[in-house]
Every structure is written in C-alpha cells, then in structure tokens.
Amino acid sequence: MNKKGILALGLSTMMLFSMVGCSSGGGKGDSAELPKIGATVYKADDNFISSVARELKTNAEGVAELTVDDSQNDQAKQLDQIDTMITKGAKVLAINLVDPKAAESVIEKAEAADLPVIFFNKEPDADALASYDKAYYVGTDSKESGVMQGEVIAKQWEANKEKWDKNGDGKIQYVMIKGEPGHPDAEARTEWSVKTLNEKGIETEELAIDTGMWDAAKATEKMDAWLAKFGDKIEFVICNNDGMASGAVASLEKEGYFKGDKFMPVVGVDAIPEIVTLIEEGKVTGTVLNDAKNQAKAVIDLSLNLANGKDPVEGTDWKLDDNKALRVSYVGITKDNLDDAK
Ligand code: BGC
Ligand code: CA
C-alpha cells in the first residue's frame, strides 16, 4: 500500500470510530441519557416498603437511572446516602425518611444543590414541605386507613357478634398492636380505627396497647405476652399493619387458635400477599389496601417530570393538594373483595 492508501485507510477507520461513538451517544433509551433518580428506603426489610422498592424499580425500567439505597433505620446514614447521591449527579431525590421529623435536614441538602425532593410513605410536617417550593409528598391520607379499618371491623363484628362477644357485654375487648410511635400512619390508624367503631355506636374497651414497630416478630412477642395475661378475654386483635397481623396470627396458632372452634378476629393494613393468603385461610378477617403499586408509579412519574424541568404532574392523572402532597386512596379488604387486593 502506498502512502496515499495508508492515509485513506486511516481516515476511514477514524470516521468509522467517530460514527460508532455518535450512534451510541444518540441512541434512544441509552442509559447515559436517562435522568438519575436517587431514592432511599428507611428499611429494606420492612414488608410493605420492600413492595414499594420493587415497584419503583419496575416503573423506572428504561426511563430513568434509579438507585435505591437501604437506610437501615438509621437517619444519619440516610443523610450520608443523600450526600453521595447528590455528588453522583442525581437530578431528583426520592426519600422515604427514617425519622418523619428529619425532613428539614433533607430539604437543606436538596435546596443547597437546587434539586427537587419527593418524600414518600413517611409524611413530613406540612410546614417542612411548605418551606421549599421543590419539596413534594407522595403517600396516602393516613386517617383514611384508620377509618376504613374501623369500618371493616364494624361490619364483621355486627355479622358475628353472637359468637365474637365472648363475655356478652356488647363491647369489643381489644388489644392494639401499634406501628412506630410518631409515624403519621401509626398515630392515625390507632386513633381512627377505634373512633370509627365508637362513632358507629359500637362500644370498645382497650385491654392493652403497645408498639410492634411494624415488625412481625415483635408483634408475635407482644401477642404471646397478652395471650398469657388475658387469654380469651381478648375479642379482637387490631394491628396497624399486616406484618404485625401475621405476627399475631403466628402467636395465636401456637396457642391452638384457628382449629376447630377456637378463633380470634385479627385485622391489619396494607394487603401484602401474605395477608391475602391468611384471609383466604380464614386466619385474618380483614385489611386495608395500601397501594404500593400506584404510590411507586406516582413517585417515578413526578420524578421524571421534575428531572425534565416540567410541572410535576404534567401529562399524568395525578393531583397535588394545597400542601404539594399526592394521596393515593386506600381500599377496605375482606374475603368478599379479595380480588381488589390481588
Ligand atoms: C405501612 C407499614 C410500613 C410503614 C413504613 C406504612 O404505611 O402500612 O406496613 O411498615 O408504612 O413506614
Ligand atoms: Ca365483649
């Protein structure tokens, strides 16, 4: 090959390389171009939150570069994770707070980097949300879950009270397994489940209340102790979530419940797959669907819009309220409408 030939070959090879570079840079769906969303969950082994995390990933597929960090129930660790996300170029932060009171610290970081932040599942105070125009909340109306749980209990109690009112005094003697104290969902469910019963004219007596921290194993321990203390004086087990309801069922099964005539009504909130099975088996009487799928979808929809500098709900059916909060509805679930949960 002469000099001219070598030069021509060199040139065409160079052109080829630059074309390859071009096509890989301009391709649709190229991950280098997808907006980075930095998400955290307060604790990855929480029953409900693990479904939300899975749904976040499903919704982000092909449209965003999503990372989901596990804050392992440690607020300081979460704040460090947020620093790292910002350094790595996140365009939006999606934060499931460990401590609902820590919203201000997160907002400080987001504001300093001029980034939008979407809180989800653990609702920050309205004041905190109002303090930064790029702060949003995606979750539910906590009170609604308590009211619906009360309605589920009322309906079932009315239909079965001949059998379930064991001491025949017309009142429900209940034990309450509460979620994390100070968590808006835990506080509202505890208050409104019972208030709703009372407003419907059903009298109640609280035998015991304690926190199970949303956790099945902790709920089993509580229930073991209460069964030893109160036995069949307990007429209803009200749990702030399904994880703890399944923990209570495990304790009751050890004591021979759900065999023959030995029965105890148990209710939860969330409608996780495990509880759907327990409802089918007649070991849980009802729950309230906490819609992980739509909450996760809303987080990703809003994130994409914000990453592209658009209005957060542009091109979607979502609505924000006056506090910049988006609330997905709950649904009361019993054996009669189990398909809604599935
Ligand atoms: C869910 C609980 C969960 C908690 C975590 C609540 O909305 O019902 O199951 O443990 O959120 O923050
Ligand atoms: Ca009674």
Q: How many angstroms separate the CA atoms of 113 and 38, rounded?
A: 13
Token pair listed for 113: 């980097």
- Cα torsion at 232, 336, 55, 244 (round to 10°)? 0
Pocket of ligand 1 (CB under 6 A): 46-49, 121-122, 183, 185, 214, 241, 243, 269-270, 290
The pLDDT value given to residue 46: 97
pTM, 2 dp: 0.89
Non-local CB neighbours of 91 within 8 Å, separated by 6+ positions: 35, 36, 37, 115, 306, 307
Instruction: Output the residue whose Cα is nearest ligand 1's atom 11.
Output: 121
The pLDDT value given to residue 9: 46
Cα-to-centroid distance, 231 and ligand 2 (Å) = 13
- Cα torsion at 153, 138, 297, 189 (round to 10°)? -10
SS3 call for 284: coil
Cα-to-centroid distance, 167 and ligand 2 (Å) = 5
Tell the burial category of 185 from Cβ atoms under 10 Å away from its Cβ (0-12, 13-18, 19+).
buried
Q: How many angstroms separate the CA atoms of 311 and 304, rounded?
A: 10
Instruction: Output the residue whose Cα is nearest ligand 1's atom 6.
Output: 185
The pLDDT value given to residue 342: 87
Instruction: Express each pLDDT in 307-318 by its tens digit.
Output: 999 999 999 999
Non-local CB neighbours of 234 within 8 Å, separated by 6+ positions: 173, 174, 175, 207, 226, 227, 264
The average confidence (pLDDT) of the chain is 92
Cα-to-centroid distance, 26 and ligand 1 (Å) = 42
**DSSP single-letter state for residue 267:** E
Query: Is the confidence at residue 29, as pLDDT, over 80?
Result: no
Pocket probe for ligand 1: among 50, 148, 183, the residue whose CB has the most ligand atoms within 8 Å is 183
Instruction: Express each pLDDT in 264-304 by its tens digit.
Output: 999 999 999 999 999 999 999 999 999 999 999 999 999 99
Q: How many angstroms separate the CA atoms of 209 and 203, rounded?
A: 17
Instruction: Express each pLDDT in 144-178 by its tens digit.
Output: 999 999 999 999 999 999 999 999 999 999 999 99
Exposure letters 279-317 (e unless 16+ CB within 10 A, then b): beeebbbbbbbbbbebbbbbbbbbbbbbbeeeebbeeee
Pocket probe for ligand 1: among 47, 121, 331, the residue whose CB has the most ligand atoms within 8 Å is 121
**DSSP single-letter state for residue 286:** B
Token pair listed for 55: 């749904």
The amino acid at residue 51 is: S
Edge-first strand listing for the sheet containing 172-178? 204-211, 172-178, 236-239, 266-267
Query: Is the confidence at residue 179, as pLDDT, over 70?
Result: yes
Contact 149, 267 (CB under 8 A): yes
Contact 325, 135 (CB under 8 A): no
Cα-to-centroid distance, 308 and ligand 1 (Å) = 30
The pLDDT value given to residue 35: 97
Cα-to-centroid distance, 262 and ligand 2 (Å) = 16
Mean pLDDT value of segment 214-218: 98
Report which bound ligand comes closest to the CA of 170: 2
Confidence of residue 34 (pLDDT cuts 50, 70, 90): very high
Report which bound ligand comes closest to the CA of 167: 2
Query: Is the confidence at residue 3, as pLDDT, over 50?
Result: no
Contact 235, 165 (CB under 8 A): yes
Contact 223, 174 (CB under 8 A): no
Ligand 1 atom closest to Cα of residue 179: 10
Instruction: Express each pLDDT in 249-262 by its tens digit.
Output: 999 999 999 999 99
The pLDDT value given to residue 33: 85
Confidence of residue 31 (pLDDT cuts 50, 70, 90): low
Instruction: Express each pLDDT in 71-101 by its tens digit.
Output: 999 999 999 999 999 999 999 999 999 999 9
Report which bound ligand comes closest to the CA of 138: 1
Q: Can you tell me which residue has the tokens 């997905």?
A: 328
The pLDDT value given to residue 40: 98
Report which bound ligand comes closest to the CA of 269: 1
